[in-house]
Amino acid sequence: MNCRHCAAPLQHTFLNLGFAPPSNAYLAAEQLAQVERYYPLKLRVCTDCWLVQTEDYADAGELFAADYAYFSSTSSSWCAHAQRYAAAITERLGLNSQSLVLEVASNDGYLLKNFVAAGIPCLGIEPTASTAAAAERMGIPVLREFFGEALGRRLSQQGQQADLIAGNNVFAHVPDINDFSRGLKAALKSGGTVTLEFPHLLQLIEQVQFDTVYHEHFSYLSLYSVQRILAAAGLTIYDVEELPTHGGSLRIYAGHSEQNRQPGAAVDALLCKEKQSGLQELATYLGFQTRADAVKNGFLAFLLEQKKAGRSVAAYGAAAKGNTLLNYAGVKPDLLAFVCDAAPSKQGQYLPGSHIPIFAPEHLQTMRPDVVVLLPWNLAQELVQQLAFVRQWGGQFVTAVPTIEVV
């Protein structure tokens, strides 16, 4: 396999999680007796451009099907994050009723609804019908397509170049990252800005966040690699912010390279930080597997200890990261009886691979488990507040990454 960005041969494995089903391929009861599709879940690192990437097995058309079950609006903290961004970027760029905001992977309208409320024209790009329909019900126009260079050029030809193109947690999800970047270039108005948010590879490595690895994430991104990828498409990163979302993310700001917008001090400082942290040294990547295995083994030992002690364990959050952890650890319903989730689209279904049943949050009050594992550990603070009733019967909250921790 060659690097998806620079085409250099990929000779080094960063992480091998064996075989797993797509993390958002939830199962209905009648599907439990059918054969599930499993794909190798392995990451390679390119020692030329330092892009970390999955091996090519699954295709985007299957991973992001019409019934894709992830709805951004189920997280109140994420919606608040989007609202703050919309207000800040509107002021920063001077957006108004004459502007156009384009969001790639607009999901259920969690972000664009803020621009609609402010009277700023917007357009969502979202290939999954279930989430696109939710956005349309809020009055958000949506193109139900995958984004790339062809669509970017078409929008340009139709006079729909954008003053702002936003992409939150999509850049890591695209199989052809070069084509996607050229699409951003084509769809961006002269003087416009692209903002992209994505989990920061540095945090993944430092916090052993291996459970953020799944087939839907084709790339694992550093500022260094993103700067190179966008530069090849004719875009220059001029600012960057470090965010707490998703366990530690970056938000980059980019514009057309020919307009000579130079990188600011924040960009230079973070590039220096990445280099000092070893993100351009092979040894940093080759030592990660052992650290990930230690987290997995610690989680499995904890569940076995609970079972031996006669304590009941359930989980909250039928999130993709939880599926990665559960499948790599080989956890089944005998060790983790059920998981609860606030998304109606997931309730009544089963987790892929582990076949653990998914219930509404109220099921916790019925079953009263001794331990609730918060699988989306990045939302632990929000979830502990929402599920405070668990403490009424002495229940404990636990996160598993980077170590077992009672919260």
CATH architecture of 288-406: 3-Layer(aba) Sandwich (3.40)
Tokens of 266: 């924040």
Q: For the purposes of burial, counting CB atoms within 10 Å of the CB of 328, is it exposed (0-12), middle (13-18) or buried (19 or more)?
A: buried
Q: What is the 3-state secondary structure (H, E, C) of 92-135?
A: HHCCCCCCCEEEECCCCCCCHHHHHHCCCCEEEECCCHHHHHHH
Topology match between the domains 146-282 and 288-406: yes
pTM: 0.90
Q: What fold is seen in the domain 146-282?
A: Rossmann fold (3.40.50)
**pLDDT the model gives residue 65:** 53
**pLDDT the model gives residue 239:** 98
List, edge to edge, every strand of the sheet that includes 219-220.
12-20, 39-45, 52-54, 219-220
Distance of CA 115 to the CA centre of its chain: 22
Question: What Cα–Cα distance (Å) separates residue 270 from each residue in 92, 172, 237, 243, 285?
Answer: 22, 19, 12, 13, 19
Q: Where are the domains of the chain?
A: 146-282, 288-406
3 state SS of 153: helix
Local mean pLDDT, 10-residue blocks, the chain (407 residues): 96 95 91 92 97 77 55 80 97 98 95 97 93 93 96 97 97 95 98 97 96 92 98 98 93 95 94 98 96 97 98 95 95 98 93 97 97 94 95 97 93
Q: Which amino acid is at 260?
A: N
Tokens of 107: 């999901």
